[in-house]
């Protein structure tokens, strides 16, 4: 029986990063994977989605390039080629992960891992022993108990991203969270009819209220139907496709669809993972862990989408993997998981870190807020960017930055500096001392700071 210092089950961004860190510490490591290396993020999530988003963004720019003096006739999109490109990107990055395993002398074991006891994992008939076992099996789309979701034409985000994708002219999306809104943006850019049905009172319900309201307004203005406070009762066959029946504002309604995407969340991949008699205290399929990511069974750890109370983001799982490995081998953990940045690849992009003004109010934290409107930003005007803003939340007394919400072009690229500022408790004075380059999208951060200092937000781009 092979003996390892660490066996990692799952090779997503949590699992493979954890394995590499352990190998860098001089440990003998094996990873077990029953699907493609890279997990959901690389194969059925972040990377393929953002590849499609990029295509959609380029297509929208080409359709409006006459406004900047470029004439192009008959701009179309080849749906099949679009997904071929997605496959090429995924394959290239997947190969990169496999090469990292080889370079770090990590054994890749193909098959489904089964934890026989606190020191043994089996894959088929083979048995492997380890001092430590790390569960990083991720999650899969959640299907609610709504009648009709087993009908042909009802799909999940996995289906939308597998192979050649799901092409249709009329898409209804059940769920107005991050996944649903991103797919709505892509399919609308492709010229498809899109409808979002969200049970909460607003789409993107976990985000800053102003961001949710602004995105809802932009989607509606572009022609996307958005129903909020709407409960889907069933999906049924119609004469020419599917019919989604729901209740909104106490009124029974329905909408026709060629395809129905269910995107109401994800559930942990923990089924069939443990031998009979082993109990990790699962709660609705999720694994409780302590601050060191230890489970209730000595020697077994868990990170990523499978843990109770975790944040289902790739970079959060990677940070958890690093901290878990450092802890199990006596090294100092260095990833700060108190402030996990969040990115949404809509048009315009949405990015946030820390708390919102509403969250501060609920916690009785006194705050002051600075805001810059992007329609006054020179780079946004040049790029013909849509309505957006940057909002900074500071503690009213200490003047430390508590949170930042960005809805604008390149928001996800600018979020890194805001996350660094929140993590290091930078103050209004410290941030205001920075000279922000002009003309850039990021200079709007300086405008938001000026707003707090009593300066006027520029009504037009400044002259150089």
Give tens-digit pLDDT for 334-386. Answer: 899 999 999 999 999 999 999 999 999 999 999 999 999 999 999 999 999 99
Would the pLDDT of 464 be above 80?
Answer: no
pLDDT at position 458 is 36
pLDDT at position 456 is 37
CB 325 within 8 A of CB 301: no
49 contacts: CB under 8 Å, gap ≥ 6 = 157, 161, 179, 182, 183, 186, 345
Across 289-444, where does the E strand assignment appear? 300-302, 342-344, 349-354, 367-373, 389-395, 401-408
420 contacts: CB under 8 Å, gap ≥ 6 = none
Would the pLDDT of 433 be above 70?
Answer: yes
Distance from C-alpha of 225 to C-alpha of 347, rounded to nearest angstrom: 16
Give the residue-averaged pLDDT of 222-235: 97
Read off the pTM. Answer: 0.92
pLDDT at position 334 is 85
pLDDT at position 454 is 60
Q: Which residue has the tokens 């951060």?
A: 445
pLDDT at position 288 is 97
Structural domains of the chain ordered from first start:
2-140+267-328 (3.50.50.60), 154-264 (3.50.50.60), 348-453 (3.30.390.30)
Q: Say what the alpha-carbon torsion angle 65, 71, 76, 82 is, to the nearest 10 degrees.
A: -60
Core vs surface per residue 213-239: b (16+ CB within 10 A) or e: ebbbebbeeeebebbbebebeebeeee
Give tens-digit pLDDT for 284-328. Answer: 999 999 999 999 999 999 999 999 999 999 999 999 999 999 999
| 440: nearest Cα among 351, 373, 379 | 379
Distance from C-alpha of 447 to C-alpha of 267, rounded to nearest angstrom: 41
CB 95 within 8 A of CB 9: no
Give the residue-averaged pLDDT of 425-431: 97
pLDDT at position 249 is 87
Work out the pLDDT band at 73, boundaries 50, 70, 90: confident
Distance from C-alpha of 383 to C-alpha of 182, rounded to nearest angstrom: 21
Give tens-digit pLDDT for 4-44. Answer: 999 999 999 999 999 999 999 999 999 999 999 999 999 99
CB 165 within 8 A of CB 246: no
Give the residue-averaged pLDDT of 393-415: 97
Give tens-digit pLDDT for 409-418. Answer: 999 999 999 9
How far lies 5's CA from each of 98, 120, 247, in Å? Answer: 20, 12, 54
Catalytic residues: 438
**pLDDT, mean over the chain:** 94
Q: What element of type H or E holds 27? A: none
The alpha carbon of residue 205 and the mean position of all alpha carbons in its chain are separated, in whole angstroms, by: 14
Would the pLDDT of 460 be above 70?
Answer: no
Give tens-digit pLDDT for 172-208. Answer: 999 999 999 999 999 999 999 999 999 999 999 999 9
CB 160 within 8 A of CB 183: yes
**Alpha helices of 64-156 — where are they, by DSSP H?**
79-103
Give tens-digit pLDDT for 434-443. Answer: 999 999 999 9
């Amino acid at each position: 029986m092979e003996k390892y210092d660490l066996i990692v089950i799952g090779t997503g961004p949590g699992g493979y990063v954890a394995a590499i860190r352990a190998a860098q510490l001089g440990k003998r490591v094996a990873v077990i994977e029953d699907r493609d290396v890279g997990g959901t993020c690389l194969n059925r999530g972040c990377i393929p989605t953002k590849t499609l988003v990029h295509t959609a963004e380029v297509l929208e720019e080409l359709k409006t390039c006459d406004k900047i003096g470029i004439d192009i006739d008959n701009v179309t999109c080849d749906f099949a080629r679009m997904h071929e490109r997605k496959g090429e990107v995924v394959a290239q990055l997947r190969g990169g992960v496999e090469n990292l395993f080889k370079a770090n002398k990590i054994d890749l074991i193909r098959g489904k891992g089964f934890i026989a006891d606190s020191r043994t994992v089996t894959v088929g008939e083979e048995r492997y022993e380890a001092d430590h076992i790390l569960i990083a099996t991720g999650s899969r789309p959640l299907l609610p108990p709504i009648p009709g979701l087993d009908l042909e034409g009802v799909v999940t985000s996995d289906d939308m991203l597998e192979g050649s994708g799901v092409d249709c002219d009329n898409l209804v999306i059940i769920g107005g969270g991050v996944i649903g809104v991103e797919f709505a943006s892509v399919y609308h850019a492709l010229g498809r009819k899109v409808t979002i049905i969200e049970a909460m009172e607003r789409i993107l319900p976990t985000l800053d209220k102003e961001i949710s309201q602004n995105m809802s307004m932009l989607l509606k203005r572009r022609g996307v139907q958005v129903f909020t406070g709407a409960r889907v009762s069933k999906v049924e066959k119609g004469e020419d496709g599917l019919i989604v029946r729901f209740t909104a504002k106490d009124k029974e309604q329905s909408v026709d669809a060629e395809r129905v995407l269910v995107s109401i969340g994800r559930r942990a991949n923990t089924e069939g993972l443990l031998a009979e008699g082993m109990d990790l205290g699962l709660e609705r399929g999720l694994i409780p862990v302590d601050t060191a990511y230890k489970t209730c069974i000595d020697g077994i750890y868990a990170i990523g989408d499978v843990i109770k109370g975790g944040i289902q983001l790739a970079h959060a799982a990677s940070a958890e993997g690093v901290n878990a490995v450092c802890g199990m081998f006596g090294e100092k953990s260095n990833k700060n998981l108190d402030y996990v940045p969040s990115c949404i690849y809509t048009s315009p992009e949405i990015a946030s870190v820390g708390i919102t003004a509403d969250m501060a109010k609920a916690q009785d934290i006194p705050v002051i807020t600075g805001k810059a409107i992007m329609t006054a930003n020179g780079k946004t005007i040049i790029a013909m960017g849509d309505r957006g803003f940057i909002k900074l939340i500071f503690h009213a007394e200490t003047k430390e930055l508590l949170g930042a919400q960005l809805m604008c072009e390149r928001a996800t690229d600018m979020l890194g500096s805001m996350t660094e500022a929140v993590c290091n408790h930078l103050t209004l004075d410290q941030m205001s001392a920075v000279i922000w380059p002009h003309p850039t999208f990021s200079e709007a951060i300086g405008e938001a700071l000026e707003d707090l200092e009593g300066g006027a937000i520029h009504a037009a781009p400044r002259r150089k």
